[in-house]
């Protein structure tokens, strides 16, 4: 509860980290109802209190400046409801959930890693449902909320990517073990390792290429810096310059 409170104070969307804690408590209650016979409310006041204390440590202005905090939350709520117009929104017939799947995750992770991650999540939920529910309840809840918003920045799916990578890694290792089991015993371990390495390279190849391309691009001077240098070198001092369009592109 304390760690979740610190995370939520750092970034508000981390408040959904309480979901796997709730799921874990419910699973414990279902496993041994007699041993854990207390109600969820009685079991939750301690972690709930710890969450509130940590949240207030990170954001004391909730109490010290409540009026401005509530005004900021109202502005944030309005922003996520209205969005940024058609430039950043999907087609009218589409949805935020489909947009993040087709755009944010597809181009953020690469198709092989995304498919492997989703397949790995499904396999873990089937083979070890208790672990899967606790592990993946946060990204599932987070995706449900993120897809329902009108603000559809691709960065909003970043908290989901570690879980997809983890699930993809599990799938690669499980598949390698399954394929190696079909081979002769003396070379089974070596074959499993080779299969896992080869599969990992295939799954991670698009991401590796994207990282290399991004590093190559980001090492060059920013376009706005280039423009500013040109202006300093060619435009006389005390001249007026008009910059139109989005402020994000201004030098």
Quote the tokens at residue 41.
């409310």
pLDDT tens for 134-190 read: 999 999 999 999 988 888 888 999 999 999 999 999 999 898 888 877 777 777 778
* Token pair recorded at residue 140: 């599932």
Query: Mean pLDDT across the chain, nearest whole number?
Result: 86
For 45-91, what is each residue's pLDDT tens digit? 888 899 999 999 999 999 999 999 999 889 888 877 776 654 444 44
Which two structure tokens, joined as six digits, stand for 88?
């950043």
Report pLDDT for 178. Answer: 83
CB atoms within 10 A of CB 37: 10
Q: What is the mean pLDDT of residues 227-235?
A: 91
Give the pLDDT confidence of 6-32 residue by residue, as tens digits.
999 999 889 999 899 889 888 888 887
| Per-residue pLDDT at 92 exceeds 50 | no
Report in angstroms the alpha-carbon separations of 23 from 20, 91, 112, 174: 5, 35, 30, 26
Cα 45 to Cα 25: distance, rounded to the nearest angstrom:
13
Q: Is the pLDDT of residue 94 over 70?
A: no
Q: Which residue has the tokens 């873990």?
A: 124
Q: Which pLDDT score, from 0 to 100, does residue 6 have?
A: 95
Contact (CB, 8 A) for 81 and 89: no
The reported pLDDT for the residue numbered 38 is 61
């Amino acid at each position: 509860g304390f760690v979740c409170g610190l995370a939520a104070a750092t970034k508000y969307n981390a408040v959904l980290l309480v979901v796997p804690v709730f799921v874990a408590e419910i699973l414990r209650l279902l496993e041994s109802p007699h041993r854990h016979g207390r109600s969820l409310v009685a079991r939750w006041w301690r972690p709930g209190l710890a969450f509130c204390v940590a949240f207030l440590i990170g954001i004391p202005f909730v109490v010290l400046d409540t009026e401005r905090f509530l005004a900021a939350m109202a502005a944030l709520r309005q922003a996520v409801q209205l969005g940024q117009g058609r430039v950043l929104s999907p087609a009218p017939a589409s949805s935020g959930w489909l947009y993040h799947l087709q755009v944010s995750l597809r181009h953020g992770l690469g198709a092989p890693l995304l498919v492997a991650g989703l397949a790995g999540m499904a396999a873990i939920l089937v083979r070890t449902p208790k672990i899967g529910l606790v592990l993946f309840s946060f990204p599932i809840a987070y995706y449900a909320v993120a897809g329902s918003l009108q603000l559809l920045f691709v960065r909003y799916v970043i908290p989901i990517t570690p879980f997809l990578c983890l699930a993809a890694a599990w799938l690669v290792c499980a598949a390698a073990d399954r394929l190696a089991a079909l081979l002769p015993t003396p070379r089974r371990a070596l074959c499993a390792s080779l299969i896992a390495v080869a599969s990992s390279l295939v799954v991670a190849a698009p991401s590796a290429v994207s990282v290399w391309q991004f590093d190559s691009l980001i090492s060059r001077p920013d376009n706005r810096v280039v423009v500013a240098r040109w202006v300093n070198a060619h435009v006389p001092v005390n001249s007026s310059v008009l910059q139109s369009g989005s402020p994000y592109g201004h030098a």
